[in-house]
Amino acid sequence: MENSRIIRALSGVTGLLLMICVLWGCGDSSEMVIRGDFRGGNTFLEGKKLYFGNAETRNFVDTAVVREGKFEFKVKTDEGFVPFRAAIVFETGNPDWPHQLVGYKNPYFKKTSESNFYAEPGVMELQLDTIQVFTPKNKVVTFKMDKVNRQTEVLFRHYAFKGNTKDKTDNSDYNESIVRKHPYSLDLLRTLNYSKTSLETREAKHLLSLFDPELHSNPGYIALKTYFEYENKTGSDFPTEVALKTTDDKSVSEVLVDSSKHNLIVFWASWCGPCRMEIPQIKKLYESKGADLNVVSISVDKDQNAWKKAMEKEQMPWKQFLLPVGETYAMLDKKYNLQTIPIWVLLDGNGKVVDQHVGYDTGDNAVDLKVAALLK
């Protein structure tokens, strides 16, 4: 009898736990906690809000208010959490520069401060190092980290892959040694992406193969692997088939739909300041030459919501597409080197390149004037 009551009680507890799991979610989870301490200083940020976010997507993950010289960010992380390059910012009160990055002392280069770190599960303690006031609206806050996590350590060490020189063997040995030492590093993976055109393909592919298997599902790893496997047989000509996304998440395979018109392809991103500065020029061009020109903007944003918000703000009346990681990204990256944006490419009706340009310019080199001159 007693045993029956115990079993019924345990069954009730089990049912309650199952219900909690359904409602709240169960599984391996932990927290990412970042605590900051101004060490009792009468800081100008007392009572003000700080923002913690992803430095690449520019999305804020959490906010915290400075109270009695202290603040804390707390973010839940699940089993599939991937460390990301993070930043903490505060509001400046300057509409031209609304947010100021917080800095971090680099323990490996004593006179260097960093603006980013890698966010990982666990607790990070920040203690005030310096506050520099240049003007009432230009203040720089720098913290010391109690300990540097392993992803941040690689970032702070500023490793760089050595390209093709006379000392090719020494360079290859060095490049391999840093990947073997830090095969888990997301920052080295990112650095390899930026260095891929300065390395021989065989070496770059070998370096990629040395990264831990747990990174093989990372979008950066997939993009690099696809890049190295893609053979560009058509030079700078725009591909006839692509895989792009529309604002309503539909797939599009054709971009050049009217062979009677020239085509202006613009690569940009919501977080790219020069890209946003170039948009008014493209609007002028679209208004004056829209009858003869098919304008297409292709965003390399990793965050679809950030892309949509930017489009809503900029109100660009021409075609807008998102470039997801995959074969098309590798294809276009190999053709136009998408590491530096904005990029515009002027094509004829058959997709042949007429001209292309990297970066934002004004004057005679502004995109509206330069493309208009080419269309005459």
The pLDDT assigned to 242 comes to 87
**Mean pLDDT, 10 residues at a time, the chain of 376 residues:** 43 42 45 90 85 89 94 92 94 84 94 95 94 83 94 96 76 95 97 91 94 92 89 78 89 80 93 93 92 92 89 94 88 89 92 91 91 88
Amino acid identity at 271: W
The pLDDT assigned to 298 comes to 96
Name residue, tokens 């599902």: 217
Amino acid identity at 44: F
The pLDDT assigned to 166 comes to 65
The pLDDT assigned to 22 comes to 38
With b meaning 16 or more CB within 10 Å and e meaning fewer, what string describes 57-84?
bbeeebebebeebebbbeeebeeebebb
The pLDDT assigned to 21 comes to 41
Distance, in Å, from the CA atom of 301 to the CA atom of 307, rounded to the nearest integer, reads 6
Please write the tens of the pLDDT for every residue from 8-29. 443 444 444 334 343 333 434 4
What does residue 367 show for φ and ψ, rounded to 5 degrees? -60, -35
Domains of the chain: 29-148 (2.60.40), 159-229 (no CATH), 244-375 (3.40.30.10)
Amino acid identity at 251: S
The pLDDT assigned to 69 comes to 92
The pLDDT assigned to 290 comes to 79
Distance, in Å, from the CA atom of 314 to the CA atom of 165, rounded to the nearest integer, reads 45
Bridge-based pairing of strands 103-105 and 353-358 is unpaired
Measuring CA to CA, how many Å separate 120 from each of 73, 77, 82, 344, 364? 13, 9, 8, 37, 47
Integer distance in angstroms from the first to the last C-alpha of the chain?
97
The pLDDT assigned to 261 comes to 85
Residue 50 in contact with residue 38, Cβ under 8 Å? no
The pLDDT assigned to 310 comes to 92
What does residue 185 show for φ and ψ, rounded to 5 degrees? -75, 120
The pLDDT assigned to 367 comes to 94
